[in-house]
Amino acid sequence: MSYGQKVDIIDIDYSWSFINYARATDGVYFITLFKSVIISLITTFLCLLIAIPVAFYISFSSVRVKSILLVSILLPLWTNLLIRTYSLIALLRTKGHINNALENLWESANYLLSFFRLANHNFIGESFTPLSLMHNNFSVIFGLIYIYVPFMIIPIYLVLEKIDRNILEASYDLGANHKITFFKIIMPNISVGITSGIILVFIPCLGSFIIPELLGGADSQMIGNIIERQFKSANDWPFGSALSFILIYITIIILGVRYVYSKLYSRLYQRGVS
Amino acid sequence: MTEKKTTIELKKLNKKFGDIIAVNDVSLKISENDFFTILGPSGCGKSTILRLIAGLEVQDSGAVIINNKDSSFVQANERPVNMVFQSYALFPHLSVRDNIEFGLKLKKISNIDIKIRVEEILELVKMNGYDFKLPSELSGGQKQRVALARAIVNKPKIVLLDEPLSALDANLRMEMQQELVNIQRNLKMTFMLVTHDQDEALSISSKIAIMENGKIIETNTATNMYEYPSKKFSAEFLGRINIIEGASSLIDNRMLFNSDTFGKINLERDIKLPKDGVLGIRPEKIIIETGLNKHKNRVSMNGTITNWTYYGDVSYITIELKNKSKVYINVQNIHRNSLQELNIGKKLFASFDINDLIILEK
């Protein structure tokens, strides 16, 4: 269908033309695609930064704390994605919980200052201006991280659990400090978890449309939103499918690169060029 | 005889895990070039002592002195000791060579020196040619060799071995025991081993400490620990022993022991049995006789065989005396034909030399 062309409201001419793909590379679509990739990359990277310490903390906790933490990470996944995204709106909007909390903070700070007769020096501004946390790139990335971070934590946690604790002790015993142990011993052993985490986060991020739709503004549309619009409001299914296929190709390329990389890595090892 | 240099000294070491006292007031001295073994039942705290020396645990009180330097609070990575772990703990992502090099690379040693030393060690543990194999491609015995190489390549003051051979099968274990001894002698290194295997302790160590419930019961050389133990627990834990209860008295500076099992025994020794002391005799010191041996240095008995366990080279026999007490005897299977004489229910005579009796404290 992606090689066809829309002729009228319900008819599609299967003409085997590449016109839809050509259209996808021009101007606005290409920029959106590029921006989606960038947003997904940032999200994935931040997820990684959050997930590694969290996974470590869970993995080194006692059995009871461990199960509580794991459940609290998995529990949100049982809630519908839409509901979770709407709950973020309640948190982030102009009169949302974060801004309310900040406002309370401002009020009490102001009260304290007036107590010391400093209020009219305007140290903290004349009045509280709420932060605009919604309908921008920040809110989209925040939402994506909130939704997808468990998919990063879980694989990293799982490989961490499999590491024999004795090898960490062996590393200290052989003279390595914590930093060397982390980079030379732990990281190579959890790299499998990290790559699966990256794939599990990056690919759904790239295709997500509910989160940018609800949390993003006009400026923070992702490729998923455009695809959705082609199928629904624009009624241009051939172009929508072309865009979808581009997304699939990107995904396949990423998976392919990973496969080649892991093959190459293990072959290098066998030759002893480690 | 000149006093050997002390490599490790433990002073009144204590360590608790929650309510469990793992190490209770342990003081030890390990000399240079010793093959020192801590032998004890599982859970007696022997591994904890190793981990305290390595710095992987911190003591509650007491001191760890390594090479005359108080190292009680030195971090594990700065102590001149290396450990061979029970699970080997090889780095799974690194090749054999990289595993062995790991410690050296952290020590600012030139690459050429590292290469030379790794070659030497690989030769020593007979693992040359396996340089680029991953630990997952090695057998248990090979992993063991690499783990040992990884520790000794750093030339530590002491090599700590935490039950390193317990995962190997019997033949391989014997082979590795012999190799451990050879390596230790060749390199003139100090080794400290922890095990619950008595044969292993006897066959490889120069000194043995026996441990129970976090306390060191007794320390002695390997032969003396078997032949002249002074505590009942160590005599019973290291090998088998017949315990002879009774009361002693000193007559004309000679000990007369009135035993429950064998009646009066005249010990040609001018010492008194300690309070709640007992005598012990090792089963292999008792020999089977054709009749009652009346020699004044020998204690004789006759009884009925109630149990016979065959081990190939030896048989463990239990005989019951007239007074219902049981005596264990080890018999070498010197002749195939003599096996038939050792049937359950058969009566036999046996005797032992009073010089082989061991005086034990409870």
pTM of the model: 0.79
CB–CB contact A269 B134 (8 Å): yes
Q: Taking 60 as the threshold, does the pLDDT of residue A270 lie above it?
A: no
pLDDT category of residue B149 using cuts at 50, 70 and 90: very high
CB–CB contact A174 B92 (8 Å): no
Q: How far A174 CA lies from chain B's nearest CA (Å)? A: 5
* Closest partner CB to A174 (pick from B75, B97, B106): B106
Domain boundaries, chain B: 6-231, 242-361
The complex's ipTM works out to 0.80
Q: Taking 80 as the threshold, does the pLDDT of residue B269 lie above it?
A: no
CB contacts < 8 A (A, B): 76
**What is the Cα–Cα distance from B314 to B140, expressed in whole angstroms?**
30
* Count of CB atoms situated within 10 Å of the CB of B344: 11
* Closest partner CB to B98 (pick from A166, A167, A274): A274
pLDDT of A68-115, one tens digit each?
Answer: 999 999 888 888 888 888 888 888 888 888 888 888 888 888 888 877
Of A221, A196, A217, A199, nearest in space to A208 by CA: A221
Q: How far is CA B347 from CA A261, B4, B331, in A?
A: 78, 52, 15
Establish if B102 touches chain A: CB-CB under 8 angstroms.
yes
**What is the Cα–Cα distance from A38 to A46, expressed in whole angstroms?**
12
- Give me the mean pLDDT over the B294-316 stretch: 88
Strands B246-251 and B207-212: unpaired
* Closest partner CB to B93 (pick from A166, A176, A188): A188
Tell me, what's the pLDDT at A52? Answer: 93
Instruction: Check if the beta carbon of residue B193 is closer than 8 Å to that of residue B86.
Output: no
pLDDT category of residue B64 using cuts at 50, 70 and 90: very high
Average pLDDT, chain B: 88
Residues of chain A neighbouring B91 (CB-CB closer than 8 A): 167, 170-171, 185
Tell me, what's the pLDDT at A272? Answer: 47
Instruction: Check if the beta carbon of residue A185 is closer than 8 Å to that of residue B135.
Output: no
CA angle A238, A242, A245 (to 5 degrees): 135
CB–CB contact A171 B102 (8 Å): yes
DSSP letters along A17-65, please? --HHHHHHTSHHHHHHHHHHHHHHHHHHHHHHHHHHHHHHHHHTS-HHH
Tell me, what's the pLDDT at A123? Answer: 65
pLDDT of B24-37, one tens digit each?
Answer: 999 999 998 899 99
Tell me, what's the pLDDT at A122? Answer: 63
CB–CB contact A173 B54 (8 Å): yes
Q: Taking 60 as the threshold, does the pLDDT of residue B2 lie above it?
A: no
CB–CB contact A272 B131 (8 Å): yes
In chain A, % of residues over pLDDT 70:
91
Strands B6-17 and B298-310: unpaired
Tell me, what's the pLDDT at B262? Answer: 84
**What is the Cα–Cα distance from B39 to B195, expressed in whole angstroms?**
5
CA torsion, ordered B7, B11, B14, B15, to nearest 10 deg: -20
**What is the Cα–Cα distance from B167 to B147, expressed in whole angstroms?**
13
Domains of chain A (ranges; CATH) run: 21-75+135-243 (1.10.3720.10)
Of B201, B107, B88, B210, nearest in space to B150 by CA: B88
Q: Which residue of A has its CA nearest to B98?
A: A274
- Write the CATH number of the domain with boundaries B242-361: 2.40.50.100
Q: Taking 70 as the threshold, does the pLDDT of residue A118 lie above it?
A: no
Q: How far A186 CA lies from chain B's nearest CA (Å)? A: 10
For B7, list phi and psi in degrees, rounded to 5: -90, -50
pLDDT of A220-259, one tens digit each?
Answer: 788 888 888 888 888 888 888 888 988 899 889 988 988 8
Q: How far B72 CA lies from chain A's nearest CA (Å)? A: 15
Residues of chain A neighbouring B161 (CB-CB closer than 8 A): none
Q: Does an H or E element contain B234, and which?
A: helix B232-237
Q: Which residue of A has its CA nearest to B155?
A: A174
CB–CB contact A171 B54 (8 Å): no
Location of structure tokens 């007074």: B323
Please name the residue ranges forming H helices in chain A: 19-24, 27-59, 63-74, 81-92, 97-115, 137-162, 165-173, 178-180, 187-207, 210-215, 223-231, 237-271
Tell me, what's the pLDDT at A273? Answer: 42
Superfamily of domain B6-231: P-loop containing nucleotide triphosphate hydrolases (3.40.50.300)
